C-alpha cells in the first residue's frame, strides 16, 4: 500500500467515525472538525474553523472543570470527563470527551485532539447534570451540598447503631500566597495532590469532600474517640507538610484542622459542620499547622488541642510527663555526641499526647514555665545517671520556651538544677528559638551572657526561619546553630535550600560556631551535609526520639553512623549516566567500565540527585528527554549544587533552544547526538577528566 493510499484510508476513517473529532491549536481555536462533530453540534464546518471551542459552552458545566482540563493537557496529560454543552440551536447535550495533546516530531505540544461522544439524555436535568451539581469538578470529590446530604444519612445510621463519628474540617493555611506564586493551574495541581494524599491515609468507608476553595472535610465513620481522631488529624498534618513539586518548584504548606464529633458537638449536619468551623478557627488562631477539637464556650466541651489548660496545671504534680531523647551525632566520627530531650504527656485516659497538641496551650496559659523547669531538672538528672553508669560523656540539649527565657530568674534556676543534680555545666545545652532571642535583643544578650557564665552551652534552634538572626548573631555568645529541617528536607534537589544551608555552614564556621542539621531522614541528605562540612546531625535516619531505657541500650552498644558508602572507591574516576531507557544505560555502562571508569547509573533526575549527594562524581552524561525532569533541568540543578562537575547531554532530540540556553548559562559543557560513536564519546570523557585535573 502506498503512502497516498494510506493517507486516503486514514481520512476515510476519520471522516466516517461515529465519534466527533476536533483538532485545535494551543489556545483552543478549531483547526479541523469531522462530519460527525458538525452533525452533533449543528454547525457547518466553515462555521467552526477558526472559532474557539468556547462556543460550545452552556454555562451548565462548572468553571472548575475547565481549569482542571487545561491544567491536565497543558502539562502534557490526557483529560477525559463529562460536560453539558450547547448545540447551535440552543439545545443542551451531554458529552463524554477525551482530549489529548498533539506533538510535533521533536515532542513539543502543538495542539489538542478532542474525541466526543453523546451518551446521556439530552436535557440539563439528566443524570450527568445531577452528578455535576453534587460533585466538585476539579477534584471529583463531593461538594458542600453533597457533604451535608450525606452527613444526614450518616447521622441517621449512627443514631440507629449508637455509634458516633467525627468530622474533620481541613483548611490550607495562607493558600492565597500559593495562588499568587503558582497561578491558578499550579494551585490546582496542589489541590489535586492534596486529594491524593488524603485518599492514601483514610479507610475505604470514610468520606472525603471539598467544601470550599481551600477547604476539605473528612468524615471518620464509627470513630469519635479523642485519641483516634487526634491520630488521624496528626497523620493529615504530617502528610500535607511534605513538599509539593509543581513546574520545577518545591512548595510547602501547613494545614489547620477543626474536629467536631457526633453526637456531643452537634446532632444534625448543619450544627456539626458549624462546630467544626469553630474548632478550625481555634486552630488557625493558635498559629496553624495543628488541629483543635471543638470546645463549648461554656467550657463543657473537651479539646485535644486547646482546652487542656485545667488538666495541664496538674500535669507535673501528677507525674504524667515523660522525656524522650533523640541522639545527635558527629558527621566526622559518626558517634553520638549528644541527645535532645523532648517532652511527652502520658495522659491517663488519652494515652501519649505529642507536644504539638499541648505545648501551644501550655505557652498561652503560662503552664509552660512549670513544664520547662521539670524538663530541665529531669533531663539533667537522667544525663548525670548515665554518666555515673559509665556511659559516654555526652551533652543533653533542652528546649527553652520564649516565656521561660524571658524570666529574669532563669539563670538562677539553671544554676540550682545543676547544683542539685550534680551535672557538670559543660554537659548542658539550652536551645533557644530566634523569635525568643529577637523579641528584646538587648535583654536577650544579657540573659545569654549570664547563662554562659555558668558554663552551659547555648544553641540557636530552627536557624533560618526567622528574620533578624544575621543582624544580631555576632552579638550572642552562641555555641551552636541548628539548621531547620525545612531546609534539609529537599537539600539534595533544591539548589536554593542547598545554597542557604551551605552558606549557613560557612558563615557559622567563620564565627567559630558548630552547625547541627535537624530532620535528617536519608543517607543522601547525610552525605550531602558531610561533603559540605556540617558538624553534626539528628533525625530519623539514625533514630527517632526514644524513651530513656531504649536510648540507654543504644548508648551501651555504641551505635553510630556508617560512612562507608561515601568513601568507597572515592579515588577512582567516576561517571554518572542518566537515562530512562535501560538499554541505553546498559550500553554506556559496558563502554565506560571497559575503559576503567567507576560508573553510576540513574533512570531519572530525581534518582541521580540522590546518588550525587552520596557519591563523589566528576562527570555526568544525561539524556534530554526524560519524564518528570528533562536533562537540561536536571543539569541546571546540578550546576548550582555541584558546580565542579563536568556536565554533558547525550540525546537524539535537538530541542536546540533549551540546550543552547543551558550551554550559554554554563549548565552544559557538551551536547552529543545519539546514536553516538564509542571512540568519540570516550575521547570526550578523557578530555573532560583532563580538564578537571588541569590547574
pLDDT tens digits for 640-664?
A: 889 889 999 888 765 566 667 667 6
Rounded to whole angstroms, the Cα distance separating 639 from 647 reads 8
Which H or E element spans position 190? helix 175-201
Whether 454 contacts 415, CB under 8 Å: yes
Please name which of 240, 239, 234 lies closest in space to residue 259, comparing C-alpha atoms. Answer: 234
pLDDT at residue 567, rounded to an integer? 46
C-alpha cell at 217: 472535610
DSSP 6: H
Q: For residue 568, what pLDDT band results from cuts at 50, 70 and 90? A: very low
Whether 347 contacts 320, CB under 8 Å: yes
Percent pLDDT > 90 in the chain is 23
First to last CA, the chain: 63
- Whether pLDDT at 141 is above 90: no
pLDDT at residue 569, rounded to an integer? 47
Residue 91, number of CB atoms within 10 A of its CB: 12
Please name which of 8, 61, 38 lies closest in space to residue 116, comparing C-alpha atoms. Answer: 38
- Whether pLDDT at 623 is above 50: yes
Least confident range of 264-273, 324-333, 431-440, 611-620: 431-440
Burial class (CB in 10 A: 0-12, 13-18, 19+), 177: exposed
Give the three-class secondary structure for 577.
strand
> Mind listing the pLDDT tens digit for each residue in 464-477?
655 445 555 677 88
Least confident range of 122-136, 175-189, 607-621, 669-683: 122-136
Whether 229 contacts 220, CB under 8 Å: yes
Percent pLDDT > 70 in the chain is 86
C-alpha cell at 83: 460536560
**Cβ neighbours of residue 417 under 8 Å, at least 6 residues apart?**
373, 376, 377, 380
**Cβ neighbours of residue 325 under 8 Å, at least 6 residues apart?**
339, 340, 341, 342, 382, 396, 545, 546, 547, 548, 551
Rounded to whole angstroms, the Cα distance separating 307 from 295 reads 7
Tally of helices (H runs) and strands (E runs) in the chain: 27, 27
Residues 515-521: what's their mean pLDDT?
A: 92
The vertex-602 CA angle with 597 and 604, nearest 5°, equals 145
Whether 45 contacts 14, CB under 8 Å: no
SS3 content of the chain, % helix, strand, coil (to 5): 45, 25, 30
Q: Could you tell me which residue, 380 or 262, shows the higher pLDDT?
A: 380
pLDDT at residue 332, rounded to an integer? 85
- Which fold does the domain 144-307 belong to in CATH? Alpha-Beta Plaits (3.30.70)
Please name which of 519, 516, 495 lies closest in space to residue 504, comparing C-alpha atoms. Answer: 516
Alpha helices, DSSP H only, in 391-522? 402-405, 410-421, 434-438, 441-454, 469-472, 485-488, 495-510
| Mean of pLDDT over the chain | 82
The answer regarding whether domain 3-131 maps to CATH 3.40.50.300 reads: no
Q: For residue 282, what pLDDT band results from cuts at 50, 70 and 90? A: confident
> Mind listing the pLDDT tens digit for each residue in 411-453?
999 999 999 999 999 999 999 877 677 666 778 888 899 999 9
Please name which of 258, 264, 253, 365 lies closest in space to residue 304, comparing C-alpha atoms. Answer: 258
pLDDT at residue 301, rounded to an integer? 38
Least confident range of 274-278, 324-328, 576-580: 274-278
Residues 30-57: what's their mean pLDDT?
A: 89
Beta sheet of 207-212, edge-to-edge order: 207-212, 215-220, 165-172, 255-262, 291-293
Please name which of 270, 238, 269, 274 lies closest in space to residue 258, comparing C-alpha atoms. Answer: 274
Residue 658, number of CB atoms within 10 A of its CB: 18
- Whether pLDDT at 306 is above 50: no
Indicate the domain borders of the chain. 3-131, 144-307, 318-563, 568-693
Whether 97 contacts 81, CB under 8 Å: yes
Please name which of 367, 357, 354, 356 lies closest in space to residue 318, comparing C-alpha atoms. Answer: 367
Whether 479 contacts 515, CB under 8 Å: no
- Whether pLDDT at 219 is above 70: yes
> Mind listing the pLDDT tens digit for each residue in 358-367?
787 777 667 8
pLDDT at residue 552, rounded to an integer? 95
Please name which of 111, 86, 83 lies closest in space to residue 97, comparing C-alpha atoms. Answer: 83
Q: Could you tell me which residue, 604 or 2, shows the higher pLDDT?
A: 604
Q: For residue 123, what pLDDT band results from cuts at 50, 70 and 90? A: very low
Residues 511-533: what's their mean pLDDT?
A: 90
**In the Cβ-directed half-sphere of 373, how many Cα atoms lie within 13 Å?**
19
- Whether pLDDT at 680 is above 90: no
For the domain covering 568-693, report its CATH number.
Answer: 3.40.50.2300
Highest mean pLDDT among 175-189, 349-363, 597-611: 597-611
- Whether pLDDT at 314 is above 90: no
Crossing angle, helix 656-664 and helix 631-641, to 10 degrees?
10
The answer regarding whether domain 318-563 maps to CATH 3.20.20.450 reads: yes
Q: For residue 157, what pLDDT band results from cuts at 50, 70 and 90? A: confident
Amino acid at each position: 500500500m502506498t503512502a497516498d493510499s494510506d493517507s486516503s484510508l486514514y481520512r476515510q476513517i476519520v471522516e466516517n467515525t461515529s465519534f466527533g473529532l476536533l483538532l485545535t491549536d494551543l489556545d483552543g481555536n478549531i483547526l479541523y472538525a469531522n462530519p460527525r462533530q458538525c452533525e452533533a453540534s449543528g454547525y457547518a464546518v466553515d462555521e467552526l474553523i477558526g472559532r474557539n471551542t468556547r462556543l460550545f459552552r452552556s454555562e451548565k458545566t462548572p468553571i472548575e472543570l475547565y481549569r482542571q482540563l487545561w491544567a491536565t493537557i497543558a502539562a502534557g496529560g490526557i483529560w477525559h470527563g463529562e460536560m453539558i454543552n450547547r448545540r447551535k440551536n440552543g439545545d443542551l447535550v451531554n458529552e463524554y470527551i477525551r482530549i489529548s495533546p498533539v506533538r510535533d516530531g521533536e515532542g513539543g505540544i502543538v495542539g489538542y485532539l478532542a474525541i466526543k461522544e453523546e451518551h446521556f439524555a439530552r436535557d440539563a436535568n439528566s443524570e450527568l447534570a445531577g452528578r455535576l451539581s453534587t460533585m466538585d469538578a476539579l477534584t471529583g470529590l463531593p461538594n458542600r451540598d453533597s457533604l451535608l446530604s450525606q452527613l444526614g444519612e450518616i447521622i441517621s445510621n449512627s443514631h440507629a447503631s449508637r455509634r458516633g463519628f467525627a468530622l474533620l474540617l481541613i483548611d490550607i493555611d495562607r493558600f492565597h500566597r500559593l495562588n499568587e506564586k503558582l497561578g491558578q493551574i499550579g494551585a490546582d495541581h496542589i489541590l489535586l495532590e492534596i486529594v491524593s494524599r488524603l485518599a492514601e491515609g483514610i479507610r475505604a468507608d470514610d468520606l472525603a469532600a471539598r467544601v470550599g476553595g481551600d477547604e476539605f472535610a473528612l468524615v471518620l465513620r464509627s470513630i469519635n474517640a479523642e485519641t483516634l481522631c487526634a491520630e488521624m488529624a496528626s497523620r493529615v498534618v504530617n502528610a500535607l507538610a511534605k513538599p509539593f513539586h509543581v513546574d520545577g518548584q518545591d512548595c510547602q504548606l501547613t494545614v489547620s484542622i477543626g474536629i467536631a464529633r457526633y453526637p456531643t458537638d452537634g446532632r444534625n449536619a448543619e450544627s456539626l459542620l458549624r462546630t467544626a468551623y469553630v474548632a478550625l478557627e481555634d486552630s488557625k488562631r493558635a498559629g496553624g499547622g495543628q488541629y483543635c477539637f471543638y470546645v463549648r464556650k461554656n467550657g463543657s466541651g473537651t479539646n485535644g488541642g486547646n482546652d487542656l489548660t485545667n488538666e495541664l496545671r496538674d500535669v507535673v504534680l501528677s507525674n504524667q510527663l515523660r522525656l524522650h531523647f533523640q541522639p545527635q551525632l558527629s558527621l566526622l566520627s559518626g558517634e553520638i555526641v549528644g541527645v535532645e530531650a523532648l517532652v511527652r504527656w502520658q495522659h491517663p485516659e488519652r494515652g501519649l499526647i505529642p507536644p504539638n497538641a499541648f505545648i501551644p496551650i501550655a505557652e498561652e496559659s503560662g503552664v509552660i514555665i512549670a513544664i520547662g523547669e521539670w524538663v530541665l531538672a529531669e533531663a539533667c538528672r537522667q544525663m548525670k545517671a548515665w554518666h555515673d553508669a559509665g556511659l559516654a560523656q555526652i551533652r543533653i540539649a533542652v528546649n527553652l520556651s520564649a516565656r521561660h527565657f524571658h524570666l529574669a530568674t532563669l539563670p538562677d534556676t539553671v544554676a540550682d538544677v545543676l547544683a542539685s543534680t550534680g551535672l557538670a555545666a559543660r554537659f548542658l545545652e539550652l536551645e533557644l528559638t530566634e523569635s525568643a532571642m529577637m523579641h528584646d535583643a538587648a535583654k536577650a544578650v544579657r540573659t545569654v551572657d549570664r547563662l554562659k557564665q555558668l558554663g552551659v552551652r547555648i544553641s540557636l534552634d530552627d536557624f533560618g526561619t526567622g528574620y533578624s538572626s544575621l543582624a544580631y548573631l555576632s552579638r550572642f555568645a552562641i555555641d551552636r546553630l541548628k539548621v531547620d529541617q525545612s531546609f534539609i528536607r529537599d537539600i539534595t534537589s533544591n539548589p536554593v535550600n542547598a545554597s542557604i544551608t551551605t552558606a549557613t555552614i560557612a558563615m557559622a564556621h567563620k564565627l567559630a560556631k558548630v552547625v547541627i542539621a535537624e530532620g535528617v531522614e536519608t543517607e543522601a541528605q547525610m552525605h550531602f551535609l558531610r561533603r559540605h562540612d556540617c558538624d553534626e546531625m539528628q533525625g530519623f535516619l539514625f533514630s527517632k526520639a526514644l524513651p530513656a531505657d531504649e536510648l540507654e541500650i543504644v548508648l551501651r552498644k555504641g551505635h553510630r553512623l556508617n560512612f562507608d558508602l561515601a568513601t568507597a572507591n572515592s579515588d577512582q574516576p567516576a561517571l554518572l549516566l542518566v537515562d530512562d531507557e535501560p538499554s541505553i544505560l546498559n550500553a554506556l555502562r559496558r563502554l565506560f567500565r571497559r575503559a576503567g571508569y567507576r560508573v553510576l547509573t540513574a533512570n531519572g533526575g530525581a534518582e541521580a540527585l540522590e546518588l550525587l549527594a552520596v557519591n563523589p562524581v566528576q562527570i555526568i552524561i544525561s539524556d534530554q528527554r526524560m519524564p518528570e525532569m528533562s536533562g537540561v533541568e536536571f543539569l541546571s540543578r546540578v550546576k548550582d549544587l555541584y558546580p565542579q562537575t563536568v556536565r554533558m547531554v547525550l540525546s537524539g532530540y535537538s530541542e536546540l533552544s533549551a540546550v543552547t540556553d543551558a550551554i550559554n548559562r554554563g549548565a552544559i559543557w557538551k551536547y552529543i547526538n545519539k546514536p553516538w560513536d564509542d571512540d568519540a564519546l570516550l575521547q570526550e570523557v578523557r578530555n573532560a577528566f583532563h580538564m578537571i585535573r588541569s590547574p
